[in-house]
Structure 1
């Protein structure tokens, strides 16, 4: 999936926002080169049969595509096939995009496309690299791994447990049923909270992935684990996605999520669900202070939390005489600037959206968000939307925001 939403960081104990087997490399006697078209067709037919076996829950048919001599691979593929048992799939296909041949071995560039029943209006695509051996005039899969830079899939981490909520689907690995049901209940409660705040049309449901660990979360995102330490959840999806797009996935960091209280968990999942709801109007034109600030504003909207309770790091800075000069930049939301800087960025964005809602109204805040994201470029997007919805320039708004921050936190 293209694009990645930003997550909510755990601050002081509360919420603030690979393959089936190792690739078997066989010795080559000749330099790689393009394979004949017939080979592409043969490989595609093999994978079509394998895809049909997945949807039919036909383990024998699935394993028939695997090299009979690769006993370790067959065992790993059998395990992964079992891991998929509870995932409600409505589509599973492979698209061969190209092959390179070395003697009797072919390396294929393949897109795996799948849809989760009731949630995906278009396929989720995962790029794979497959190695195939030819035996007795037939091709067999000898290796299957994520393409370079691609992320791992949840069922490659262990057996998936599926819990269906009223408005959510929670897919977990290495998690107890009680934890997954609690997450489903919290996600179910988040959906109407988001719909009450966000007037735009959206699916009104959410898919939540819960891996076994922080490392598992990072593997699902194709990123280093250190980047997400302390982040309770993130949302992945297509920025500015059309209606016919895969459903966004909320990915929970079980280690950070576990230390949160009830309110913190509610804020985290409402925050992430807001990213799901606003995705069609979130684009490169949207600054992070607005996308993260709005998600936090919705998350905290009905919690009764005061500004000092929700923005302790920014309050500490203001009381020390360090009132921010400008709205948070995108760089302020980076992981390399330290936890305090990141927390202040979230809190500053939240207070900016809270100011708009308090002074101009919640409907105006939502229109402002949509107008910024609907612009084709970042340059001028905020200026145009502020002039039309708030009657202010960015400089005038920043001055008003600084006064608001001081009044709320001093």
Structure 2
């Protein structure tokens, strides 16, 4: 038997002390979140900057400006198929009632994306006017969960034609410059791949950190990468959007010719649907550089400078670059790109440019690269031997 003994303390032996009243802790409200998100989607659909700004807390003018800017983006980007479905709470509710939730969002740029992109986005909520739930921002405070699509970052600079759409978190001048590089790069790609018709979308976040968050990857993943062609959201279907994403912290430090090569390189990835095709990394990157560098007439000491330095320091590699060599944080990454380009140049010299294209296209359809090379009359061992001999020659000559 368990006997419960309740003792009521008194202050002076006569007056009972009231027990403490339970304090109700603030809780997340999925229903309120869903209502706020519905208002957000309606404001985007209607391109209503005032309605979107009204969803921000009164004290957060920067968030009001950000939400208003999203309406401008909806207009300039012709955003369609926007949806926002509340999924679950993230973390705990703060003492003042602020909290975050995972939201499944979809969106599409009309005229450029065949189907909507889909991704989980962390939305931050706070109490607004009249104690209604407000939207106080996007993205987890640690930037470790979900992603933040560029169009959610406030009003963007946009440049567009029928062939391309450029959106930049920066000045209009930057958008125009990127658009000019895209316009110059399209005919470069079509000289080798004349059947490609585009279109292409290029997104330029404000920083390398924002690039990682735009793509939903770990911080620092693309810190040393000039640009990357990637899926916009988490869908991987044949119609899922694929865009070019630029790291301004790297490209801003390049000369005009270098920035142009980077742009043309990424356009090759778009033209060949490289994101969804099973191609050996050295062939994938080497082919893109072959097309981008085809008409530049730069000397080998420039186009192969880092590869020559790496070979002089560490010796000529025994094999062509592996998948691990193309990790975004790998040492001597640029040297590996140059080595891959040299291998593709050798294929073009031995089989002709059309032969290189046929090898590449066969592999994108699932053929085994070594078998394709054998059938084309270039044994893989012969390719590697020639490639190593070229590197040794360049090291000795420089």
Please indicate the TM-score interval, normalised by the length of the shorter structure: 0.7 to 0.9
Task: Report matched runs for 1:188-337 at 5 Å.
Answer: 188-198=183-193, 201-223=195-217, 226-237=220-231, 244-246=239-241, 248-279=242-273, 282-283=276-277, 285-319=278-312, 322-337=315-330
TM value normalised by structure 1: 0.74
Q: Secondary structure at the match of 1:259?
A: coil
What is the aligned partner in structure 1 of residue 334 from structure 2?
A: 343
What is the aligned partner in structure 2 of residue 186 from structure 1?
A: 181
Matched, 1:124 2:81: no
Residues 189 and 264, structure 2, Cα contact 8 Å, conserved in 1: yes
Q: Measure, in 2, the Cα distance between the counterparts of 1:178 and 1:334.
A: 32
Q: Measure, in 1, the Cα distance between the counterparts of 2:125 and 2:208.
A: 33
What is the aligned partner in structure 2 of residue 5 from structure 1?
A: none
Cα distance change on mapping 1:28 and 1:373 into 2, 3 Å: farther
Matched, 1:59 2:49: yes
Q: Measure, in 2, the Cα distance between the counterparts of 1:117 and 1:333.
A: 34
Quote how far apart the aligned CAs of 1:62 are: 3.3
Cα distance change on mapping 1:46 and 1:259 into 2, 3 Å: closer
Q: Secondary structure at the match of 1:192?
A: helix
Query: Is there any run of 5+ residues in structure 1 with no aligned partner, and where?
Result: 1-26
Query: Is there any run of 5+ residues in structure 2 with no aligned partner, and where?
Result: 1-22
What is the aligned partner in structure 1 of residue 386 from structure 2?
A: 400
Quote how far apart the aligned CAs of 1:84 are: 4.4
TM value normalised by structure 2: 0.76
Paired residues in the alignment total: 364
Matched, 1:353 2:344: yes
Task: Report matched runs for 1:151-190 at 5 Å.
Answer: 151-165=147-161, 167-175=163-171, 177-190=172-185
Quote how far apart the aligned CAs of 1:346 are: 0.7
Q: Measure, in 1, the Cα distance between the counterparts of 2:249 and 2:122.
A: 31
Q: Secondary structure at the match of 2:272?
A: helix
Residues 218 and 225, structure 1, Cα contact 8 Å, conserved in 2: yes
Q: Measure, in 1, the Cα distance between the counterparts of 2:98 and 2:336.
A: 52
Residues 164 and 182, structure 2, Cα contact 8 Å, conserved in 1: yes
Q: Secondary structure at the match of 1:363?
A: helix
Quote how far apart the aligned CAs of 1:389 are: 3.5
Q: Measure, in 2, the Cα distance between the counterparts of 1:374 and 1:324.
A: 29
Quote how far apart the aligned CAs of 1:91 are: 0.7
Quote how far apart the aligned CAs of 1:241 are: 6.0
Q: Measure, in 2, the Cα distance between the counterparts of 1:281 and 1:367.
A: 19
Quote how far apart the aligned CAs of 1:270 are: 0.3
Q: Measure, in 2, the Cα distance between the counterparts of 1:348 and 1:146.
A: 38
Quote how far apart the aligned CAs of 1:250 are: 1.9
Q: Measure, in 1, the Cα distance between the counterparts of 2:216 and 2:87.
A: 23
Cα distance change on mapping 1:173 and 1:337 into 2, 3 Å: closer
Query: Radius of gyration: which is bigger?
Result: 2
Q: Secondary structure at the match of 1:349?
A: helix
C-alpha distance after superposition, 1:296-341 (max 9, x if no partner): 1111111012333200122234456812110011111234443xx2
Q: Measure, in 2, the Cα distance between the counterparts of 1:140 and 1:320.
A: 60
Residues 128 and 146, structure 1, Cα contact 8 Å, conserved in 2: yes
Q: Measure, in 1, the Cα distance between the counterparts of 2:145 and 2:100.
A: 17
Task: Report matched runs for 1:85-96 at 5 Å.
Answer: 85-86=72-73, 87-96=76-85
Residues 166 and 203, structure 2, Cα contact 8 Å, conserved in 1: yes
Cα distance change on mapping 1:251 and 1:131 into 2, 3 Å: closer
Residues 208 and 248, structure 2, Cα contact 8 Å, conserved in 1: yes
Cα distance change on mapping 1:282 and 1:356 into 2, 3 Å: farther
Q: Measure, in 2, the Cα distance between the counterparts of 1:260 and 1:205.
A: 25
Q: Measure, in 1, the Cα distance between the counterparts of 2:363 and 2:125.
A: 48
Q: Measure, in 2, the Cα distance between the counterparts of 1:95 and 1:320.
A: 53
